[in-house]
Amino acid sequence: MSRKALQPLWWVVIGGFSLVPFLWFVLTSWKSPAQITAIPPEIVPEFHWGFYDSALRNYGLLRYIRNSAIVATLTTLISILIGSLAAYALTRFRLSWTRFYLMLLLAISMFPQIAIAGPVWRILNTLGWLNTYQGIVAAYIALSLPLAVWILATFFKELPYEVEEAALVDGCTWVQALWKIVLPLAAPGLFTASILVFIHVWNEFFFALLILTNPALQTLPVGIALFPGEYTMPWGEIAAASTIATLPLIVLTLIFQRRIVRGLSAGAIKG
Amino acid sequence: MSLSLSIALLLPVLLLSPLFLGAETQIRFVTWKSQFPKVWDQAIADFEAANPGIKVTREIGPHSSTDFHDLVTQKLKNRDPEMDVFFMDVIWPAEFAAAGWALPLDRYFPPAERGKFLVAPILANTYRGQIYGVPLFIDAGMLYYRKDLLAQYGFSPPRTWPELVAQAKAVLAKANDPQLTGFSGQFKQYEGLICNMMEYVLGNGGALWDADALKGTLHRPEVVEAVRFVRDRIIGEISPRGVLAYQEPESLALFAQGRAVFHRNWPYAWEIANDPERSRVAGKVGMTVLPAFPGGKSVSTLGGWQLGISRFSRKPDLAWRFVSFMSSPRMQKQIALYGGRAPALRALYRDADILKKRPEFETQFDTFVNAVPRPRTPVYVPLSNIMQRFFSSAIALRDSNIESLARSASRDMDRVLDLLREGTRP
Amino acid sequence: MKGAQRVASYYVLPSLVFVLLFSLYPIFESFRLSFYRLILALPWLGQRFVGWENYGDLVTDPVAMQSLGTTLLFVAVTAPLEVVLGLSMALVLNESFRGRALLRAIVLVPWAIPTVVSSQMWRFIFNDRYGLINFFLFGEATHLYLAPLAEPDLAVLAIMTADIWKTSSFAALIILAGLQTIPDELYEAASIDGASAWQKFHHITLPLLKPALLLALLFRTIDALRVFDLVFVMTQGGPADATNVLQFYGYKKTFAEGMIGYGSAIAVVVFFLSLVLSLLYIRLLGARILERSER
């Protein structure tokens, strides 16, 4: 079959499109300082490991990765929890305001985030939460709730009500119905929403720049933004740091990609 | 139930928060990540040892002047009492002074003390008769050139810009190396573009704006002529078009890879260009003052960083103790020796240790003394953005109508400058 | 159900607290400030209510109008292209072949790299001397090398490329999920009727995929209208202001220039642009987006 014959081509085209730019950066991380800006570029690196050493030791990369992991995990857990409660209520109780609330969430996710960074900073300052994990996590929860609630709502609405209704008749409380019946059924949706929120938070730069100035708490995007000196651009260290920092996410997506795809197909798209 | 549940979930988050407790008095210093961290760590340890009971806490921002400005002004506009001392780029003191953010330092930093510093950076820190910052180190534009190539073709370093263009073209024609270019500088649309263009504009007798009349001057013939020179002779003839996207690192990389005859940069480039690890032209590099236009004088833009104290600090006296320690001759000497940055204190240019380790400072001293600060005004950033847009549009488009772009930029600047006439200042 | 009303409000309350405090209040502040003239560097001018003046200035500000054009061009090129590329990738990834799981994971790599990092990466790749693009196009012939970030037109293309690379896989993911909901029986029935591959795609795949395609387009449009990180890291709006998108202009006004009122007005305009486009899409998606689908 001609389709089968085309398979290697798919691999090259799609794999190349996704990977080549990043692989170029990976190769860069193994070059020597003078080789990085060689004209014309040199493909084969000298396998110099100095930039990894420097990124880890002089720039404290692992600390930034740890902070990002803490912040992203906490944000994901809390917003998925709060988001499920809201999404459950919004899909199960057909009240006059539920549709309005969903629309409101969608609308606020359209407002430019940079424009609200100032007021958010002031609130955190009032609470004394600048330079704390709970401060950045609280701001991120608000940023990711619309995404989480929307994805979860599209999943929940597809789940059969009958099982819950039976459980409620049997004397289950609403909480038990959500916890024991709906959540397990919606597991793929929870995974999808979690990974979307996690990556969204993992990538966020501007809020973190303003809110986290204590070097012990700064996250990865801010950390890498701190690499360039006043007049220097440490491409080698940035490339090494990006390579290291991307690995956990690649592993994470490898583990979750089946669930993500399966998850979305379970509900979101049927609309 | 769900409420208590979410509170229960938030609890560990609250407990995770770091505790900034302690009996000592704390000074918060907002700084960028140092290129020579050991010097700073040591200095802060020394300060804490000399001042028992005082602890210096550093908050770290990015090195990019624009990003750092976002961070510091965010704290200042919200009157954050937590920040005591901060770094200021040489273009900020007027803005910070007018906004009521920086503390006037006159009672700590009397004229006699200021006299020990170079004149230009002190001027840059002075706004309406009061001083707002203490210069820590300075920068000034320099011309770097390939000693070997110039010698090979019988040239001496150019005194004027047309001479530089002619030499570059001659070297390019004779060297027959398709990879070699004539000149690299910083022409991306960012603050560095102002630094570069100001050297041509002022060198040609023009001005960025008229600070007394509060009027834009970009449309004047001297300015238009200088901009046209850059577009047609520098970018058009001897520079690769890539310089239109270059900041300092890319422009230096081109020179350090041996692909440019001439290069405009700050003093830091000397060390890198002569380091065989990072440069392919180590030992073949010369440095001199920037060229002038025929009949004019060479202009070099002043850069550098200062320490300021927040007006919202609750302990300005302690903050001053820290600022004065960090800007002391001892500290500036360390920064010069180990960081390679040019001190703001005059006396250090006669210091034997410094001259031994950094002999190039001797040649650079005249440039440092004569370096020209960008004009001081509280509305510098909006003016700079208009100028960046103008300069970039004028030189990036081969057939730009420079006169008409200049007229409209000048009008835009008039409108911003008009704001300074409004209302009565305290 | 009175109980339901109460339970529902309890469930929504935690999310509402965060949204009120960290989203609604700040957005309200931006709206309010957009009616004031407030310049941080000139505190003696005070905070003066100016009504619609900021919006009036915005309409007559050639820089704002140019950046509006750039933004709309960016959205018009990237969002549909990302959906088309995402669709092609999804169609391939929906076929069964050896190594499909790995290829699916590889496709997600661009999306998992923080934007500030991928922007630096593209800046490096687009360098006019040591960048990969030039080496790819011209090999060792360095005299032919282009400077993509130095030419106004090419710089716009460069940021579009970086955006398309990063987010096509996001569209692919949503579309792939949509593809998997199409029952195989439909294709089998069509095969029996002797339909060609194109006919199957045209009559079965596309119509059933419409909701997924529109959802991907909606997300990409909202995001592209607010593009910021790419410009911030790669071009700072230059050269010749060619990549000065609206959101970046608003950032400069608010944070760099301290023109809070004017900057807020720009944010509000970006918001309404998003809102109008989204409502348009939701109209196309149909009101059913919130309803339970018929089984």
pLDDT beyond 60 at C291:
no
Inter-chain contact A121–B33, Cβ cutoff 8 Å?
Answer: no
- State how far the Cα of A151 lies from the Cα of A193, in Å rounded to an integer: 6
Q: How confident is the model at residue B426 (pLDDT cuts 50, 70, 90)?
A: low
Inter-chain contact C132–A119, Cβ cutoff 8 Å?
Answer: no
Which of A73, A28, A34, A37 lies closest to A55 in space, CA to CA? A28
Name the interface residues of C facing B (CB cutoff 8 Å): 10-11, 13-14, 39-46, 62-63, 127-130, 142-143, 145, 147, 149-152, 155, 235-241, 244, 252, 255-259
Q: List chain B residues with CB under 8 Å of A217.
A: 18
Same domain, A120 and A200: yes
Inter-chain contact A10–C291, Cβ cutoff 8 Å?
Answer: no
User: Which of C41, C45, C240 has the CB atom closest to B423's CB atom?
Assistant: C45
Residue percentage of chain B with pLDDT more than 90: 78
Q: Would you state the pLDDT for residue A11?
A: 83
Average pLDDT, chain B: 91
- State how far the Cα of B300 lies from the Cα of B289, in Å rounded to an integer: 8
Residue percentage of chain C with pLDDT more than 90: 50
Residue B341 — left, alpha, or beta (φ > 0 → left; ψ -120 to 50 → alpha)?
beta
pLDDT beyond 50 at B20:
no
- State how far the Cα of C276 lies from the Cα of B89, in Å rounded to an integer: 42
Contact C63, C204 (CB under 8 A): no
User: Which range has the worst mean pLDDT, A35-39, B125-129, B162-166, C2-6?
Assistant: C2-6
Same domain, A159 and A28: no
Measured between CA atoms, the residue of chain A closest to residue B33 is A226
Q: How confident is the model at residue C161 (pLDDT cuts 50, 70, 90)?
A: very high
- State how far the Cα of B351 lies from the Cα of B365, in Å rounded to an integer: 13
Q: What is the mean pLDDT of residues C13-40?
A: 92
Same domain, A173 and A65: yes
Same domain, A124 and A228: yes
- State how far the Cα of C159 lies from the Cα of B402, in Å rounded to an integer: 27
Q: Is residue A258 part of a domain?
A: yes
Strands B54-61 and B181-184: unpaired
User: Which range has the worst mean pLDDT, A74-78, A194-198, B119-123, C44-48?
Assistant: A194-198
Q: List chain C residues with CB under 8 Å of A65.
A: none
Fold of B140-301+376-421: D-Maltodextrin-Binding Protein; domain 2 (3.40.190)
CATH 3.40.190.10 domain extents, chain B: 22-138+302-370, 140-301+376-421
CA distance B282 to chain C (A): 20
Q: Would you state the pLDDT for residue A194?
A: 87
CA distance A125 to chain B (A): 8
Neighbouring chains to B with at least 3 Cβ pairs closer than 8 Å: A, C
- State how far the Cα of C6 lies from the Cα of C29, in Å rounded to an integer: 30
Count of the separate structural domains present in chain A: 2
Q: How confident is the model at residue C124 (pLDDT cuts 50, 70, 90)?
A: very high
Q: Would you state the pLDDT for residue C39?
A: 92
Contact B31, B306 (CB under 8 A): no
Measured between CA atoms, the residue of chain C closest to residue B4 is C14
Q: What is the mean pLDDT of residues C268-292?
A: 76
pLDDT beyond 80 at B290:
yes
Provide the 10 A C-beta neighbour count for residue C121: 27
Same domain, A44 and A66: no
Task: Give the residue ranges of DSSP H helices in B52-209.
Answer: 65-77, 93-98, 111-114, 119-124, 147-152, 161-175, 191-203
Q: A180 versus B122: which is more confidently predicted?
A: B122
Provide the 10 A C-beta neighbour count for residue C100: 16
Inter-chain contact B18–A132, Cβ cutoff 8 Å?
Answer: yes
Same domain, A75 and A31: no
Tokens of B131: 């001083």
- Domain hosting A15: range is 1-48
A33 touches C: beta carbon within 8 Å: no
Q: Would you state the pLDDT for residue C61?
A: 94
Fold of B22-138+302-370: D-Maltodextrin-Binding Protein; domain 2 (3.40.190)
Q: Is residue A271 part of a domain?
A: no
Which domains, from first to last, does chain C contain? 1-29 (no CATH), 67-257 (1.10.3720.10)
- State how far the Cα of B138 lies from the Cα of B146, in Å rounded to an integer: 25
Name the interface residues of A facing B (CB cutoff 8 Å): 33-34, 37-39, 70, 74, 77-78, 81-82, 85, 118, 121-122, 125, 131-134, 137, 175, 209-210, 213-218, 222, 225-226, 228-233
Same domain, A120 and A150: yes
Q: C95 versus B73: which is more confidently predicted?
A: B73
Same domain, A92 and A22: no
Which of C274, C68, C248, C75 lies closest to C160 in space, CA to CA? C75
Same domain, A13 and A147: no
Q: What is the CATH number of the domain that holds A237?
A: 1.10.3720.10
Q: Would you state the pLDDT for residue B35?
A: 72
User: Which of C107, C211, C263 has the CB atom closest to A271's CB atom?
Assistant: C211
Residues 6 or more apart in contact with residue C165 via CB below 8 angstroms? A17, A18, A21, C110, C118, C122
Element (H, E) at C40: none
The per-residue pLDDT for range B37-59, each reduced to its tens digit, is 888 888 999 999 999 999 999 98
CA distance A146 to chain C (A): 9
Inter-chain contact C177–A174, Cβ cutoff 8 Å?
Answer: no
Same domain, A38 and A99: no
pLDDT beyond 90 at B144:
yes
The per-residue pLDDT for range C65-93, each reduced to its tens digit, is 999 999 999 999 999 999 999 999 999 88
Q: How confident is the model at residue B363 (pLDDT cuts 50, 70, 90)?
A: confident
Q: List chain B residues with CB under 8 Å of A78.
A: 6, 9-10, 13
Q: How confident is the model at residue C219 (pLDDT cuts 50, 70, 90)?
A: confident
Q: Would you state the pLDDT for residue A92?
A: 79
User: Which range has the worst mean pLDDT, B219-223, C33-37, C111-115?
Assistant: C111-115
Same domain, A116 and A142: yes
Provide the 10 A C-beta neighbour count for residue C96: 6
Residues in chain A, pLDDT under 70: 1-6, 257-271
Inter-chain contact B242–C238, Cβ cutoff 8 Å?
Answer: no
Inter-chain contact A78–B266, Cβ cutoff 8 Å?
Answer: no
Q: How confident is the model at residue C280 (pLDDT cuts 50, 70, 90)?
A: confident
Same domain, A35 and A154: no
pLDDT beyond 60 at C113:
yes
Inter-chain contact C128–B240, Cβ cutoff 8 Å?
Answer: yes
Q: Provide ipTM, 2 decimals.
A: 0.89
Which of A142, A155, A254, A154 lies closest to A200 in space, CA to CA? A142
CA distance C91 to chain B (A): 39
